[in-house]
Amino acid sequence: QSALTQPASVSGSPGQSITISCTGTSSDVGGYNYVSWYQQHPGKVPKLIIYDVSNRPSGVSNRFSGSKSGNTASLTISGLQAEDEADYYCSSYTSSSTLDVVFGGGTKLTVL
């Protein structure tokens, strides 16, 4: 089971918006609305920021939003702030027989 495909890096300036893509297949991203996104600062624990494609947990800024089209899910961060600089991982339920959850390889967000 291959990991979901994410760009290795994205960058943006403060105040701008960026989008991170997460591409899978009809067996995972495209087939179920169980895509989640996690933010991980260096040396820190991953933090859930989006679940079920587009829902935000309580306390997560509304600058973070999620969507899905076909086999590709997207995380958009609007009004970029320096504190958003981190690694971002997507995950999805998968109908694979070898595992239940598959992660993306991660995207490093740099705030210029």
Partner 1 sequence: QVHLVQSGAEVKKPGASVKVSCKASGYTFTTYDVSWVRQAPGQGLEWMGWITPYNGNTNYAQRLQGRVTMTTDTSTRTTSMELRSLRSDDTAVYYCARGGTHRSGWSFDYWGQGTLVSVSS
Residue 38 CB, nearest approach to partner 1 (Å) = 7
Nearest to 23 by CA among 111, 95, 102: 102
C-alpha dist (Å) from residue 40 to 23, 48, 103:
20, 9, 13
Q: Which of 3, 19, 61, 108 binds partner 1 (CB under 8 A)?
A: 3
- Which of the 8 DSSP states describes residue 45? -
Query: With CB under 8 A as the contact rule, which of the stretches 13-21, 64-72, 76-84, 102-110 interacts with partner 1?
Result: 102-110
- Which of the 8 DSSP states describes residue 26? T
* Residues engaged in binding partner 1 (CB under 8 A): 3, 32, 34, 36, 38, 45-48, 51-52, 57, 89, 91-93, 97-106
